[in-house]
Amino acid sequence: MEIRRLTAADAVEYRALRLRALREHPEAFTSSWEEDAGKPLSVSEARLADDRQTFWGAFEHGALCGVVGLERLPRAKERHKGWVVGMYVAPEAAGRGCGTALLDALLARARAEGVQDLLLTVTEGNDGALRCYRRAGFASFGVEPRAVWVEGRFHGKVHMHLQLERGVGIRGAGLDDV
């Protein structure tokens, strides 16, 4: 498996994998397949070229099978933070360390850029993703109920944090088991 930064040249594969993720797991993302499928390829190219976002891809046998992004916040008071966005590993690549390898690349870049805190959300019930993030050091600090509405049902989002300065999340707050 090869992990590397994605560029605008990867937009066709990135867009296809993203649309697959949105279609197969609509509850896992705040974006929807219906909205994104209608957008031109130039939107994906621009996202991969945006200097406030960095995306990594996992490739097996030359095919993109996983992706994750680091989004940096533009406001001066929030520049110490970043968001983990768009994490997806295709089912056929799951269980082989793809998600961990993608997160490792993201964490190394975030530290190199001086990001001190990382945030993410994960849909309640996505136990595999929760385990992956917890292994990386993220800790839960709350749940947003009714965060997304998908196919006639609300889904909550677990909010997670990782403090990069010490490599640990918010511990001792009594919320690690959310």
CA distance 169 to 154: 27
Question: In terms of DSSP H, where are the helices of 89-167?
Answer: 98-112, 127-135
In this prediction, residue 93 carries a pLDDT of 93
CA distance 80 to 12: 32
Give, in order, the Cα–Cα distances in Å from 111 to each of 41, 114, 169: 31, 5, 14
Tokens coding 25 = 């797991």
Q: Which residue's entry shows tokens 């082989």?
A: 96
CA distance 36 to 74: 24
Tokens coding 111 = 């530290």
Which fold is adopted by the domain 2-163?
Aminopeptidase (3.40.630)
Per-residue model confidence as pLDDT tens for the chain (178 residues): 999 999 999 999 999 999 999 999 999 999 999 999 999 999 999 999 999 999 999 999 999 999 999 999 889 999 999 999 999 999 999 988 999 999 999 999 999 999 999 999 999 999 999 999 999 999 999 999 999 999 999 999 999 999 997 544 433 333 333 3
